[in-house]
Structure 1
C-alpha cells in the first residue's frame, strides 16, 4: 500500500482514516475537500481540481480521501489500494452531525482555512441519499479495476479490526 484512495459517504470517517493510515504507514495524507474548497466555502474550478489532483498523482506515495467524481477515474487508475467506507446511512448522518458539534465555528483539519464547519439541509439530504444514489455507481467503477487491492468496510467494527491488524 503506497497509493491509497479512500472513498465513501460524508460522515463515514474518510479523513480520520486517512490521518490514521498516514501515521501508521508514514505516507502523506491529502484531503480532496482541502483542495476543492477555498476560504468561505468557495469551490475551485473543475479544471483546477483536476490539475491539482494530477500533481498529487506524481508523488511516489500518497493517501487521498474524498469522492469528487471529476477526479475519481484519475485516482482510481493511479491507486494501488482503494478503500471504500460503505457504512449505513444512519452511521454517516451521525458522523456529520457529530463533527458539526465537535467543530462548531471551527475549521476541520481536513479543510482549507476559512471554512468553518457547517451542516445545511442540502448536505444532510446528499448524505441521506448517498447509499442509494452514489454507492451503486462506486461499485460499478470498482469493477473496472480488478487489479487493484479493494477493501470495502461495511461497519466501524471491520475498520477497527483492520487498523488493529495493521498496527
Structure 2
C-alpha cells in the first residue's frame, strides 16, 4: 500500500529500493545505508562477473537468499527471477518512479562518463562505447524494461500483499525523505 513520508514505519530494517534502469537505485540504497546504518547490497555485484558475464540464475538465487535471510539489509534492486525471495522479507519498498526523460538522461550521462573514464562498475567491469550502442546496451534495456518496472511499482502501491511502498516521483522528494531518515 502507498505510504506518505509521515507514515514510514519506524524500525524498518529490510528495505528494497526499486526503480527503472537509470533512476539512481544504487545511489539511493547507499544513502539509505549511510543514514540508517543498514548494510547495503548492490545487486550488480552479485549478478555480474568480470567481463560482464552474467552469474547463473540459480547462483543468483542462492546469493540473494543469503542476503535476504538476514535481519538487516538494503537491496538496490530485485530481478524478476528472484523477486519471490525478496518481497516476503522486505519491510519497505522505496520506489523511484521518475519520468523516463529523467532516468534516461542519468543513464546516458553515467554510461558515457563510464566509457570515457573507464571507472570500474561492478566487479571491475567497465563501460565501453561499443556496449553502449550494442544490442545488449543498458540504454536499450532501459527502453525494453521501463514500462514493466513502472507498472510493477504502481501495482505494488495498490496491493495489500506487498510491504508498504514509498513512491518518489522526483529526486527532490527522495532527498527530502532522506534528510528525515534516522538510524534503525
* TM bucket, shorter chain: 0.7 to 0.9
Work out whether residues 16 and 90 of structure 2, in 8 Å CA contact, stay in contact via their aligned partners in 1: yes
How far apart are the structure 1 equivalents of 2:21 and 2:94? 14
The corresponding residue for 2:8 is none
Q: Give 1:139's match in structure 2, choosing from 147, 154, 164.
A: 154
How far apart are the structure 2 equivalents of 1:129 and 1:90? 15
How far apart are the structure 1 equivalents of 2:163 and 2:79? 19
**TM-score, normalised by the number of residues in structure 2:** 0.80
How far apart are the structure 2 equivalents of 1:159 and 1:99? 19
Q: Give 1:151's match in structure 2, choosing from 139, 154, 166.
A: 166
The corresponding residue for 1:42 is 53
**TM-score, normalised by the number of residues in structure 1:** 0.88
Q: Tell me the CA shift for residue 106 of structure 1.
A: 1.7
Number of residue pairs the alignment of both structures matches: 164
CA-to-aligned-CA distance 1:37-56 (integer Å, 9 cap, x gap): 00000001111000100000
RMSD: 1.9
Work out whether residues 76 and 145 of structure 1, in 8 Å CA contact, stay in contact via their aligned partners in 2: no
Q: Kindly name which structure, 1 or 2, has the bigger radius of gyration based on alpha carbons.
A: 2
The corresponding residue for 2:105 is 94
Unaligned segments of structure 2, at least 5 residues: 1-11
3-state DSSP of counterpart to 2:71: coil
Q: Give 1:24's match in structure 2, choosing from 19, 35, 41.
A: 35
CA-to-aligned-CA distance 1:113-140 (integer Å, 9 cap, x gap): 2x11343354212213433233213433
2:86 matches 1:75: yes
Q: Per the alignment, do residues 138 and 166 of structure 1 end up closer, same or farther by CA in structure 2, a change over 3 Å counting?
A: closer
How far apart are the structure 2 equivalents of 1:129 and 1:44? 21
Q: Per the alignment, do residues 9 and 80 of structure 1 end up closer, same or farther by CA in structure 2, a change over 3 Å counting?
A: same
Q: Please, which moves more after superposition, 132-141 or 96-105?
A: 132-141
